[in-house]
Chains A and B, each alone.
Chain A
Amino acid sequence: MSKIRSDYVRPVDFKHGRVDMSHGGGGRAMAQLIEELFVRAFANEWLAQGNDNAAFSVPAGRMVMATDSHVVSPLEFPGGDIGALAVHGTINDVAMAGARPLYLAASFILEEGLPLATLKRIVDSMARAAHEASVPVVTGDTKVVEQGKGDGIFITTTGIGVVPPGVEISGDRARPGDAILVSGTIGDHGVAIMSLRENLTFETTIRSDTAALHGLVAQMVQAVPTIRCLRDPTRGGLGTTLNEFARQSGVGMLIREASIPVRPEVSAACEFLGLDPLYVANEGKLIAVCPPEDAERLLAAMRTHPHGADSAIIGEIVADPHCFVQMETSFGGRRVVDWLTGEQLPRIC
């Protein structure tokens, strides 16, 4: 007779298994998934404790909290996946206040039928991203919805951080004369996604630029504590973020098309797809506004960081009661960079 270990539990089948309703049921199957996947991947003391919450002390100072939901399709793409986006996105939102991100929470809505192999890849990617950024995922939640009611997986992350004293960064602080900077090439992420959908291929694959920017921000704030505004231009792109700042601060802007860094393949792909790079999503870039006398110093500080190597000064804040964002085109004329209308649909015309 073979010996059967009394404590044997059949491990989750990550190779061939699929998410089913029991994984969200609150019972043994769910506990096992959480243990073998999430706790193992994120590997930290809070998850190891096994509570529905995480307790920690925080350094004194102003706290910052941010939350982000991710519903991207396809789930995996060149340069990243929904998991990496979820980690980077919230770290970045916290960092845009000038804060040091401390902890993340992650909740998952899984669709019945999602291959566990896919889920594992995504969670492992999240764990890698969190580990590289030194921001642990300390608590979370899992639910399962019936097939057809979810796009594979939706992830919501929430993060907290603390703002160093003396730092006051907010979208309503831009003043006429201030300089506007961008940390690198725009449009990479959105084009990487849309190209997959439209079956475009590239000589050099365009990869999503998804990245955690808190290291870059820390370097920037140290070099120029007088930074007025910071934001990462995700959905809606550079154009939308500039309009947000303009409206929040009650100012206008004048930017120069020729100064805005865009990769040639991204430019060409946008021509093909009928998109305007100004409105295409980015997941690893930021826009900064600072006093004019500090612009060159800030630019230099950004360029020394790997996530800011292609930084550029793209324009300045002007007084304008109508809060128009105007752009000098490479052609020599002037046009408005307006709010994006609805969802950017690829143009044929």
Chain B
Amino acid sequence: MCLALPARIVELLPAAEGVIDLGGVRKRISLELVPDARVGDYVIVHVGYALQKLDPAEAERTLGLFAEAGLLDDAEEAA
């Protein structure tokens, strides 16, 4: 059951719930499993529950790794 999406928390609601936004779509989900999540945080959402917070710094680092493969590529072509 792997389908899960990274979405931004736009509102906190009582009873450990919140509203998340993905590409302009909003849904009410449970934040029970990530109690320290705040508005503006990104969370991985699965079957109506946030499972984990997404670390933006790590996301950038990962994108950098992808690009690095490209740089090596260019370097080899230039060589």
Contact = CB atoms under 8 A, between A and B. Distances in A.
Given A348-B3, A349-B1, A268 B27 contact: no
Interface stretch (A89-97, A195-203, A244-252): A195-203
A349 B24 contact: no
A274 interface: yes
B47 interface: yes
Nearest to A204: B24
A338 interface: no
Given A199-B27, A199-B28, A200-B27, A348 B22 contact: no
Interface residues of B, number: 13
Interface string B2-17: 1101000000000000
A92 B69 CA distance: 51
Interface string A56-99: 00000000000000000000000000000000000000000000
Contact of B22 (A198, A199, A271, A274): A271
Interface string A185-210: 00000000001001111111000000
A201 B21 CA distance: 9
Contacts of B2: 349
Nearest to A263: B24
Minimum-distance CB pairs A-B, first 4: A268-B23, A265-B24, A268-B25, A203-B24
Interface of B: 1-3, 5, 21-28, 47
